[in-house]
Amino acid sequence: MNSSDAPLKIAVVLGSTRPGRRADAIGDWVLRQALRREHTKFELVDLAEQALPLLDEPAPAITGNYAHAHTRAWSARVAEFDGYLFVTPEHNRSVPAALKNALDYLYAEWGDKAAGIVSYGVDAGGARAAEHLRGVLGELRVADVRATVALSLMTEFDDADGGRVTPGPHQEQKLETLLDQLLSWSAALRTVRRAAP
């Protein structure tokens, strides 16, 4: 099997490290739906497990000159994927500091790959965080797909059942559209990376 025939590998990135976060429940919901897809491998990447301190690299990420073992480990982890599906809450109208920090650690490893966004929040389902994330991804040469899922903490979670996510059928359809676009763009950008010198 050559590299073009290999299954796409997509990271579902949990962008919150906050205790009591809803990212776990949403990540599980995303994976349950995503794992129905053939010829694609989906894997959960939890920022809470990455042990990344506040950015402590002396050289800018664009140089690829990493001084610390935690950065080299994060680099290897991110580089293995063809695309990313970010699960992010909205904190003060933007993304959590842990997610921005994780993105800022690297540069080339993100480039010429695709991303989708599932956001959540009290107000507007985290849509403002998703829009901020799009700007950051663009600077990292990540092609974010148009389709998004925005989940309301007020209506799509069952606190009586341990905070289980309970999205309606319309959200499941939005996630299907997001996954269609993400996989299509991830496959196309794989050819771009292969053609790069």
The predicted pLDDT at position 85 comes to: 98
Mean pLDDT of 13-37: 95
Residue 41 has pLDDT above 50, yes or no: yes
Whose CA is closest to 12, among 81, 103, 74?
81
- Residues 82 and 190 sit within 8 Å (Cβ to Cβ): yes
- Percent helix, strand, coil in the chain, to 5, is 45, 25, 30
Q: Going by C-beta distance under 8 Å and a sequence separation of 6 or more, which residues neighbour residue 93?
A: 128, 129, 132
pLDDT tens readout for residues 68-126: 999 999 999 999 999 999 999 999 999 999 999 999 999 999 999 999 999 999 988 99
Residue 2 has pLDDT above 60, yes or no: no
In the block, tokens 């990376």 appear at: 193
Tokens of 14: 């949990």
Confidence of residue 44 (pLDDT cuts 50, 70, 90): very high
